[in-house]
Structure 1
Amino acid sequence: MEKKTEELMKKCENLDDTTVMGSCQVLLDMMKEKNVKLEDDPEQTYLGMAENLSPKDLSKVLEMALKVRESGAIKDVELKNAASRIIRAIEMS
């Protein structure tokens, strides 16, 4: 899993894809709407991040998407699906 995550992070560095950016926007908006907190980043303001999302933020959003998808504490299927869409979009880019 670690190697795959590293490969995805590298792809994010130079990615400027509107589809991926749109998926990121959806996830961030959903996390804000559902008041989701990740245990290692409880102070993150997803609204602020969503409002100022740029291609350089993709690696951070990917990291959050991976945490959301793998989290046992997050049970919201819609949120997990949004996270999975980002991961797939980056994998396919």
Structure 2
Amino acid sequence: MNDEKLMKKCESCDFDNENDLRADCKSVLSNLDEYKEDLGLRNEETETYLQMAENLKPQDVSKVLTLALKIRESGKIRNPDIKNDASRLIRAIEMS
């Protein structure tokens, strides 16, 4: 599934407190500070994303998906846990 289709699909994802999608989003966001430089994020952006992790809303999923796609494609990020978190979120959206 291409990135554009994923973005459209995430708009209609089922998102609630018991949902794996919420947990996957939080996993991606919780490690953001570690790889912000590799993604070209400013400190202000990073703070916004970290705050988002604590109070995640359905409309935030597309923003987190964008980060996950960048993480998956980044050649600079080598941490397999971070890559797996991003891939897990992308798969959750694909399968929703």
Post-superposition CA distance 1:3-61 (Å, at most 9, x none): 711110001112233211110011111223xx22121x323223212012111000010
Unmatched 5+ stretches in structure 2: none
Unmatched 5+ stretches in structure 1: none
Aligned length: 88
- Percent identity, aligned pairs only, is 51
**Could you tell me which amino acid in structure 1 is paired with residue 12 of structure 2?**
N
**Could you tell me which amino acid in structure 1 is paired with residue 94 of structure 2?**
E
**Could you tell me which amino acid in structure 2 is paired with residue 13 of structure 1?**
E
**Could you tell me which amino acid in structure 1 is paired with residue 26 of structure 2?**
Q
RMSD: 1.4
| Structure 1 ranges of 4+ moved more than 4 A | none
TM-score by length of 1: 0.85
**Could you tell me which amino acid in structure 2 is paired with residue 48 of structure 1?**
Q
